[in-house]
Amino acid sequence: MTETTSAGRQTAMGETPAADKKAWATTGLGVLGALAMASCCILPLVLVSFGVTGVFIAQLGAFYQYKWITFALSAAFIGYGFYRAYSPIPAEACADGTCARPMNRTLMRSILWVATVIVAVAMIFPYLTPYILSY
Q: For residue 29, give the nearest of 112, 118, 97, 96 by alpha carbon.
A: 112
Residues with Cβ within 8 Å of 15's Cβ and at least 6 positions away in sequence, in order, are: 100, 101, 102, 103
Query: pTM value?
Result: 0.65
pLDDT one-digit tens code per residue, 44-102: 777 777 777 777 777 777 777 888 888 888 889 889 888 888 887 777 766 766 665 54
The pLDDT of residue 113: 93
pLDDT one-digit tens code per residue, 97-131: 666 554 577 888 898 999 899 888 888 888 887 88
